[in-house]
Amino acid sequence: MQLTFEIVSGISELEAAGWDALTDGSPLLSHRFLSTLETTGCIGPGTGWQACPLVVKNGDTLAGAVPLYAKSHSYGEYVFDWSWASAFEQHGLKYYPKLIAAVPFTPITGARLLSQDPFIRQQMAAIIANQLENLQLSSAHVLFPDQASADVLRHAGWLQRDGVQFRWENPGFANFDEFLARLTHDKRKKIRQERKKVRDAGLSIKRLTGSDISETDWDFFYVCYCNTYHQHASTPYLTREFFQQLSAQMADNVLLVIATLAGQPVAATLNLFGTDRQGISQLYGRYWGALAQISGLHFELCYYQAQEFCIERGIRFFEGGAQGEHKLARGFTPRPTCSFHKIADSRFAKAIEHFVRRESSGIDHYQHELEERSPFRRQSGDDHSAR
């Protein structure tokens, strides 16, 4: 085996079939998704994201890869290190640029060291760490890795940082009512009340996939998407062209939900879905926006419509994305996530290690607390709360 390692200037310059053969099959890690971010200007000059994927070849065959980016800020990562950057700055040191291995703007756990060969995964982790000295960078970060990638990084001595996200599971519900029957009385009542408010407001809701999504629908969704960022005095990450290409290249992986009132669209949410190589189907909640404030509308579009879709399609998991304890009351349960970090300066590495250890203790306590607040009723013969 004659391996060569190279940093290239973008995933879009790599052969799609070779890249996709290395991934776990997630649509968010596909060549189509990641290269579209580059070709539509979401990644590249002026964005603070510069694609620099690491690739490994065995002869002419792609044998390994890492979706690697040089970052000049910490936006769009969902693993927050602003305090680390501030500490560097206070001591007259540069924190940026840094390296991250991630799916941009997407807090979803998945493969990061892409190879079926454990040795190649180990070598890629070592090469990323070596780039810190070669390029005089402050740090490298691997965000939301799968178990195989995490095991390599942990063994290589990278610093592990723990987190929590919320995921909804569909064990095979026949319909939404069967899901509700599994919840405690209070949670079930609350969801029914929220859905009733939406119906009583006169809203009409449609779920669209594939070619059923028109350009008019995409135009409206993009208005909603941008409005969400503007309401938070922020700048949208993604361009209209990105969604146009997404529709053209990944239509079968898109669920768009639109709410209308008196014939006029007022809110929309975008989800992606697919099945990985292990046959596990997942839906990923991504973007939401509304042009009107209507009680219960956010929960209806972002959670209940997606849950119904999962039940209809037999989709196993619904990944709700980063943060949001309110998801617990909608049937989501907490699950651990992690990231791994390599800090070049040994002094800062030690300080950050102390910080992460303290934080990890709090995260562990937080997860246990969330688990105790489970929205699901006890499965016992004397529990008649579902009646």
Contact 268, 301 (CB under 8 A): yes
pLDDT in tens, 7-64: 999 999 999 999 999 999 999 999 999 999 999 999 999 999 999 999 999 999 999 9
Phi, psi of 279, deg, nearest 5: 80, 15
Contact 242, 250 (CB under 8 A): no
Residue 380 pLDDT exceeds 90: no
* Burial track 104-124 (b if 16+ CB lie within 10 A, e otherwise): bbbbbbbbbbbbeeeebbbbb
- Please, what is the Cα angle at 309 between 306 and 313, to 5 degrees? 140
Name beta bridge partners: 57.
4, 62
Contact 339, 141 (CB under 8 A): yes
Pairing status of strand 159-169 against strand 203-209: unpaired
Other beta carbons within 10 Å of 16: 13
Contact 332, 321 (CB under 8 A): no
Q: In what order do the strands lie in the sheet with 254-261?
A: 49-51, 68-71, 98-101, 139-143, 333-343, 159-169, 317-319, 281-290, 264-275, 254-261, 203-209
Contact 98, 71 (CB under 8 A): yes
DSSP 3-state percent helix, strand, coil across the chain (nearest 5): 40, 25, 30
Q: Which residue has the higher pLDDT, 379 or 188?
A: 188
pLDDT in tens, 277-326: 999 999 999 999 999 999 999 999 999 999 999 999 999 999 987 777 88
pLDDT in tens, 134-191: 999 999 999 999 999 999 999 999 999 999 999 999 999 999 999 999 999 999 999 9
Structural domains in the chain, CATH included, are: 3-157 (3.40.630.30), 167-334 (3.40.630.30)
